[in-house]
Structures are given as C-alpha cells and as structure tokens.
Structure 1
Amino acid sequence: MAKLSNGTISVIFVTQRTDLDADGYAKAAAMMDELAAQQHGYIGIDSVRGADGHGITVSYWADEASAKAWRDHADHAAMREAGRNRWYSDYSLHVAQVTRSYDWKKL
C-alpha cells in the first residue's frame, strides 16, 4: 500500500458475518475491492476476518470527497444492501482522519 499522509481519510468497517452464502460473499468482496481500487482518491485497503466471522476492513482515501464518492457509488450502495440482507448480522462504520502514520518491517 502507498504510504499514508497526514489528512488521509480512513473508513473503518467492523462487521460480524452470518453463516449465509460464503461463496457469494467472497465474490462480492473481491468485486468491491477491485471497484474501490478504480475510484479517484483510493489509496489502499487492509482487511482481516476471524474464524468467528468478526472482521475489520479499513479503506484509505486521499480526502473526504473521495471517501464520500465511494460511499455513494451505485454499485457499492447495492452491495451494501445485499450485505445487510444476507452477509452481516451487524456492523459499525467509523470515518477518521490520519494525523500520523508509521511503518515497520523486520529485515
């Protein structure tokens, strides 16, 4: 992922998956990852999911306008509804502005 800069917008999506349609979910998630990467202002994404279905996905955007444009994208909005109907029992979403960012890698 590209280095995050001061002012980057982080959209933090914390979810609890249902047991329904795991294959459909995997396909939809991959499609949304690809579509997001094509949007203006997209920087990258980090995502993890535990065996219990609890997951955290953080997408990074150059600015608030880019994050809102992704929120309002018609295909993303349709997939959000599918998620509410099938794939998630609950979720929370948090939007934050990065004020500092550090990387470390063991050599």
Structure 2
Amino acid sequence: MTQTIVAGLEPPYYTAVFTSVRPDHPEGYGETLDRMKELVQDVPGFLGYESARTPGGVGITVAYFRDLEALNAWRDHAEHRAAKKHGREHWYERYCVHIGRVEQSYGFERDDRDD
C-alpha cells in the first residue's frame, strides 16, 4: 500500500484504475509486484500511482500517465503482459480496469505548522 498520494499533476492526463479481488498474500505476488513497480518507472509518460487494499482482499491501484501512448506502452509491455496472464491464472479471483482522462484535478493538505 502506498503511503503518499499523487498530487500536483497538470491536466489533462490519464488514469488506469485497477480494482481486484485476491487473497492477502498469494505466493510470488510480492516479488512480481516489486518488479512491475520497477518496470513502470521506465515508461516515458508514467506519472505515479496510488494503491490500497482491504483486509478482505479488495484492492485498488490508480496509475497516472501523461497520455494514452504512455498508458498503452505499459499495457503492452511484455513483462507486464506476462504478469497479468500469471495473475489471472494464479492470484486474482476477479479484476476490472477503468481508463479515464482527467480534465480537472485539485486537492487539500492540512498545514499544521506553528507560524
């Protein structure tokens, strides 16, 4: 699970929202996840990601990409495709991917500094 949120991106950009159901600690998942995190960093146009998982196995990862070309490059990456295939065969009970174009983005951060 990520402890920070992606902020300060200038729209437009694209999101890939990956929602899944899987057991909490499937064999080999952590190593594959670490490898995917490493590989996606090298995709030109990758902007970051956020991820969370419930104890019951529902997980959501939101990845941010500058454009559809970057998102498609990640979708089509050979190792990523192999990991997706393995995940369908061994880890995931089900998943869904939603692709969206972000037109507007804003946020809030509490400022607890003593001035």
C-alpha displacement at 1:23, in angstroms? 4.5
Percent identical across equivalent pairs?
Answer: 36
TM-score, reference length from structure 1: 0.92
Q: Given the alignment of the two structures, is residue 98 of structure 1 paired with residue 98 of structure 2, yes or no?
A: no
Q: Distance in 2 between matches of 1:18 and 1:97?
A: 30
After superposition, give the CA deviation of every residue in 1:42-94 in whole Å (9 maximum; x if it has no partner): 00000000100100000000000110010000000000001101110000000
Query: What is the match of residue 55 of structure 2?
Result: 51
TM-score, reference length from structure 2: 0.86
The correspondence for 1:68, drawn from 40, 60, 72, is 72
Structure 1 runs (4+) deviating above 6 angstroms are none
Query: What is the match of residue 8 of structure 1?
Result: 13
* Higher Cα radius of gyration: 2
SS of 1:22's partner is coil
After superposition, give the CA deviation of every residue in 1:5-29 in whole Å (9 maximum; x if it has no partner): 222000000000136x635111111
The one-letter code of the counterpart of 1:5 is: E
Q: Distance in 1 between matches of 2:36 and 2:29?
A: 10
Greater shift, 24-33 or 93-102, is seen at 24-33
Greater shift, 23-32 or 66-75, is seen at 23-32
Q: Per residue, is there more helix in 1 or in 2?
A: 1
C-alpha displacement at 1:2, in angstroms? 5.5
Query: What is the match of residue 36 of structure 1?
Result: 40
Corresponding residue pairs, total: 106
Q: Distance in 2 between matches of 1:86 and 1:3?
A: 37
Q: CA RMSD in A?
A: 1.4
Query: What is the match of residue 27 of structure 1?
Result: 31
List alignment gaps of at least 5 residues for structure 1: none
Q: Is the CA contact (8 Å cut-off) linking 2:7 and 2:107 kept in structure 1?
A: no
C-alpha displacement at 1:4, in angstroms? 1.7
